[in-house]
Amino acid sequence: MKREIVVVGGGFAGINLVKHLANETGFHVTLVDMNNYNFFSPLLYQVATGFLDVSNICYPFRKLFHDKKNISFRLGSLQKVVPEENKVLLSTGELFYDYLVLATGTESNYFGMENIRKAALPMKTMDDAIEIRNYVLQKMEEATIATDEAKKRKLTTVVVAGGGPTGVEIAGMLAEMRKNILQKDYPELAGHKAHIYLVDGAPALLTSMSGQSQRYTYDTLMKMRVKVRLNTQVMDYINDAVILANGEAIQTRILFWTAGVIARVFEGMPLESYGRGNRLSADEYNKVAGTRNIYAIGDTCLLASDESFPQGHPQLAQVALQQGKNLADNFIASLHGKPLKPFIYHDKGSLAIIGRSKAVADLPKPEIHFNGFMAWVTWLFVHLFSLITYRNRLMTMTNWMVAFLTKDQSLRMIVRARPVRKK
């Protein structure tokens, strides 16, 4: 009898686990996801700003696993876990398991600020990216016909909350667009100054990276005329104004939210299993505390047994990829009666792009920092080869080449999908 493994979540962690269990005859794996495709989340902001097409960074799960006889896919979202019955309830039915793996990632955390939740544009899913593209382009169209200067300024001012990699990358991309594209696409706005604000409560941008990277990023964004506000937080959004903790009010209709994430809580999971940020506490083998056969990997996992990361691992793609592979290896080892291998994260460094030919890179052991053009090229190659298929890589590389040579792209279309028709 094959052991049944149910994997909930097809992001970096879940997809890597499933790929490493493919064609293992002792297991049948069912991947569950609310989307029928995998998407490369580090490049969502390029879809949102019209530099990449949706198909560049997405690939259907069913096509990906065409030739994998032991893998099934189920479209649906997790509603409840029933540990005593080894069962999960989905929005599309139920599944039984021998092992359950939760790789559900995180969602945006608005820290209880309801006005922010209603007004802000998050960037966690492909739907978010498409909505951002549509929304921002619509605001630009409205600005072209606005006769009131205050309204026009409000429609063309952008606030980005969060100074991590995503916030920095969005601010940098918008600054490049303002410089090279805005007045070409919208000649009606010639001479009008569009403002971009980047706000963070920390004393520096990219707090997880080296001081050199932080200083270079700050100086570069300032040269690109991004207004950086550090040591202050977004507190509210009232009457088309972002309210900062220092009392400053920024009039805008466009607020990007990259300031925090939180993991999801599922009915049926023991409350004592949850730790900081709703992440599931797990042992060195990724088994969730207080459970017998439930595992957590990726951003939703809080694993404190790694001596180098006593507060848990950073919520990065490399952590998720490595945990997925390690858990797959342990499942296979368990099947053959071999010892399990505890998870230890091998840090391969950090990268962040700021703009055209501008990026930062920190590499560990030995500690190396570099920035500028070489860091930008490194970022491009790392992200290009991290895409899931050769097709994605080719299409993305083609779009990047066009954008680099022309300082432009032709993907800025407002496309609104109708709701799925229900019978």
Contact 122, 257 (CB under 8 A): yes
pLDDT of residue 416: 80
pLDDT of residue 12: 96
Question: Are residues 133 and 31 part of one domain?
Answer: no
C-alpha of 133 from chain center: 16
C-alpha of 20 from chain center: 22
Question: Are residues 76 and 29 part of one domain?
Answer: yes
Structure-block tokens of residue 53: 């097409």
CATH number at residue 17: 3.50.50.60
DSSP state of 390: H
Whether 331 is covered by a domain: the verdict is: yes
* Cα 164 to Cα 259: distance, rounded to the nearest angstrom: 8
Whether 346 is covered by a domain: the verdict is: no
Whether 275 is covered by a domain: the verdict is: yes
Given the structure tokens 């409560």, which residue do they identify?
Answer: 201
* Radius of gyration of the CA atoms of the chain, in A: 22
Q: φ and ψ at 252, to 5 degrees?
A: -160, 155
Question: Are residues 166 and 275 part of one domain?
Answer: no
- Of 301, 335, 369, the residue that ends a domain is 335
Whether 401 is covered by a domain: the verdict is: no
Find the helix or strand (DSSP H, E) in which 380 lies: helix 373-386
Question: Are residues 22 and 149 part of one domain?
Answer: no
Contact 48, 120 (CB under 8 A): no
Structure-block tokens of residue 64: 């990906």
Whether 226 is covered by a domain: the verdict is: yes
DSSP state of 288: B
| 146: CB partners within 8 A, 6+ apart | 152, 155
* Cα 354 to Cα 219: distance, rounded to the nearest angstrom: 11
pLDDT of residue 409: 87
Q: Which residues pair with 29 in a beta bridge?
A: 5, 71
* Cα 277 to Cα 265: distance, rounded to the nearest angstrom: 10
pLDDT in tens, 34-47: 999 999 999 999 99
Question: Are residues 192 and 67 part of one domain?
Answer: no
Question: Are residues 289 and 244 part of one domain?
Answer: no
* Cα 150 to Cα 84: distance, rounded to the nearest angstrom: 60
pLDDT of residue 410: 85
Domain count, the chain: 2
Long-range contact set of residues 117-123: C-beta below 8 Å, sequence gap at least 24? 118/237, 119/237, 119/255, 120/161, 120/237, 120/255, 120/256, 120/257, 121/254, 121/255, 121/256, 121/257, 122/257, 122/258, 123/44, 123/45, 123/48, 123/166, 123/170, 123/256, 123/257, 123/258
Whether 389 is covered by a domain: the verdict is: no
The model scores a pTM over 0.85: yes
Q: Cis check for the bond before 339: say yes or no (omega within 30 of 0).
A: no
Question: Are residues 36 and 96 part of one domain?
Answer: yes
- Of 259, 294, 311, the residue that ends a domain is 259
pLDDT of residue 419: 66
Question: Are residues 74 and 32 part of one domain?
Answer: yes
The candidate with the shortest Cα–Cα distance to 209, out of 375, 41, 376, 360, is 360
Question: Are residues 252 and 177 part of one domain?
Answer: yes
Question: Are residues 293 and 272 part of one domain?
Answer: yes
**Which segments in the chain show pLDDT lower than 70?**
418-423
pLDDT of residue 420: 63
- Of 192, 227, 259, the residue that ends a domain is 259
Question: Are residues 278 and 188 part of one domain?
Answer: no
Strands 227-229, 158-161: pairing is: unpaired
Whether 245 is covered by a domain: the verdict is: yes
Strands 99-102, 3-8: pairing is: parallel
Question: Are residues 186 and 266 part of one domain?
Answer: no
pLDDT of residue 46: 95
Q: How far is CA 344 from CA 327, 360, 412, in A?
A: 12, 26, 43
DSSP sequence for 244-286: ETTS-EEE-SEEEE-S-EEE---BTS-GGGB-GGGPEEE-TT-
pLDDT of residue 76: 97
Write out the residue range of the structural domain in which residue 201 sits.
114-259
Whether 353 is covered by a domain: the verdict is: no
C-alpha of 78 from chain center: 20
C-alpha of 119 from chain center: 20
